[in-house]
Structure 1
Amino acid sequence: MGNPPKQFKKALILEDIESSNHWMSERLREAFPAIQVDQAFNLRQAWQYLKPSHHYDIALIDLGLPDGSGLELIEYCNQHCPQVLMVVVTIFEDDQHLFKAVQQGAQGYLLKDMEAEKFAQNLLQIAQGHAVLSPLFIQKIMQYMRQLGQSAACKSLPIVLPLTRREKEVLACLGRGLQVNETAEQLGISVHTAASYVKEIYRKLNISSRAEAVMVALQYGLV
């Protein structure tokens, strides 16, 4: 069930390791056979591709680069070309940078050592509008949030969570890493109804990604 995958036409890869860059390019073409892929091996090359034209559908971004951080690209896309779906591809070396990527609006977090077929499937899920978060990513975010305590990123949230009982239940499911269809099954509601709750939660909390929803659920003790 759910929306059919969007047929991405153009992608940008920012990854300094040549073999990983080519591997991700192959996975993109498996998921979207007609896609055009621009490959950048450092931040300078990424700027050369991106700044003249913002016409990308998706960007796969490594955070640790020889001439800067992938966070710079994420921040730029968030401000100047928000239509680009940003996906962090990582090995989880730096939890703090992952947290900052969440704040900047990255829509997915994929592991570099993921099986090829699973990686391509996750790209298709992202194209359907799902924020793909691995269980390991959610665990890392939970650990980082608990270390921070009252996160500065969440200080703008209201003291009392402005959600209905059912919306809190849906948020708790998201906080545990459940997808929308799994949330629907857990709560005994339709996928369409669960998706409507998620949309309303995002609107009320002024958030735009599942990663942010995980952090809010943690902040309010729902997980």
Structure 2
Amino acid sequence: MTTVLIVDDQALQRLGFGMILEQHPDMTVVGEAAHGAEAVRMTAELRPDVVLMDVRMPGMDGIEATRRIVESGGRSRVLVLTTFDQDEYAYNALRAGASGFLLKHAQPDELVFGIRAVAAGDAVIAPGLTRKLIDAFSDRLPGQTPVQQRRLSGLTEREREVLVAIATGLSNAEIAARLHVAETTVKSHVSRILTKIGVRDRVQAVIFAYDTGLVRPA
């Protein structure tokens, strides 16, 4: 059973998400929060698998709430919901430690898939938005730090190749086809890459790839 905390300042939005999720027997909504501070408190109390996080809310916004939830070291993972005209908020949320983001107008099956993926330890980004998001804010990407440089130098040539593929939005199956290797081999590479560069998931790996200049915006 995947437990979900819904965070949104709009009651009707929370109701809609709840109705979608409760239709699936492997999911249950354990609580609802109307603002960031409440989300942080309820996450600590309920320890949900996934926090479905809105960005713009009164008081503490979703970005700060995400940062506090991630920094607490708990088991809960954050999936941010946004709209494309809020891409700056989504970018900042990913840097705060969110495991991904989806557009609010995503189809119900996309929402359910995203929650399941995040709960399983994977990451999810709304299709087609990774490159647009990075392109839009490439001038804000910081330079490579000594720690990042050291971690990047620890990757093998093949691991760098896989990291570049991840950063361009390819799935494990697509990477396997490109490199002519088994998908299980790609999964092993991804696991080692995440460990070596010190990040939690694929989303953070994408940010690392751009931060270090391994991949440049188009």
> TM-score per shorter chain, which class?
0.7 to 0.9
Match of 1:85 among 77, 85, 90: 77
Pair 1:37 & 2:30 matched: yes
Name the aligned partner's letter for residue 158 of structure 1: Q
Query: Is the contact made by 1:14 and 1:42 (CA closer than 8 Å) also made in structure 2?
Result: yes
Q: For residue 101 of structure 2, what is the aligned residue in structure 1?
A: 109
Distance of 1:179 and 1:169 partners within structure 2: 13
**CA deviation vs aligned residue, 1:24-58 (integer Å, no higher than 9, x gap):** 2223223454513311122344345234x152111
Distance of 1:216 and 1:46 partners within structure 2: 27
Q: TM-score, normalization: structure 2?
A: 0.85
Distance of 2:177 and 2:23 partners within structure 1: 30
Helix, strand or coil: the match of 1:172? Answer: helix
Gaps of 5+ in 1: 1-6
Distance of 2:14 and 2:190 partners within structure 1: 34
Distance of 2:155 and 2:41 partners within structure 1: 44
Name the aligned partner's letter for residue 105 of structure 2: D
**CA deviation vs aligned residue, 1:167-191 (integer Å, no higher than 9, x gap):** 1111111011112222222222222
Superposition pairs of residues 1-223 of structure 1, within 5 angstroms:
7-8=1-2, 10-51=3-44, 53-149=45-141, 151=142, 154-155=144-145, 156-158=147-149, 161-218=153-210, 219-222=212-215
Q: Which has the higher contact order (CA 8 A, sep 6+)?
A: 1
Name the aligned partner's letter for residue 156 of structure 2: T
Distance of 2:33 and 2:72 partners within structure 1: 19
Query: Is the contact made by 1:170 and 1:198 (CA closer than 8 Å) also made in structure 2?
Result: yes
Distance of 2:63 and 2:115 partners within structure 1: 20
Name the aligned partner's letter for residue 42 of structure 1: H
Question: Residue 91 of structure 1: CA displacement?
Answer: 0.7
Helix, strand or coil: the match of 2:84? Answer: coil
Name the aligned partner's letter for residue 210 of structure 1: R
Q: TM-score, normalization: structure 1?
A: 0.84
Distance of 1:98 and 1:61 partners within structure 2: 11
CA spacing shift, 1:221–1:49, aligned 2, 3 Å: closer
Distance of 1:129 and 1:161 partners within structure 2: 26
Distance of 2:64 and 2:18 partners within structure 1: 22
Helix, strand or coil: the match of 1:60? Answer: strand
- Identity across matched positions, percent: 24
Distance of 1:142 and 1:14 partners within structure 2: 26
Helix, strand or coil: the match of 1:135? Answer: coil
Query: Is the contact made by 1:54 and 1:81 (CA closer than 8 Å) also made in structure 2?
Result: no
Question: Residue 75 of structure 1: CA displacement?
Answer: 1.6
Helix, strand or coil: the match of 2:5? Answer: strand
**CA deviation vs aligned residue, 1:77-99 (integer Å, no higher than 9, x gap):** 11224310110011133444323
Q: Which moved more, 1:157-166 or 1:170-179?
A: 157-166
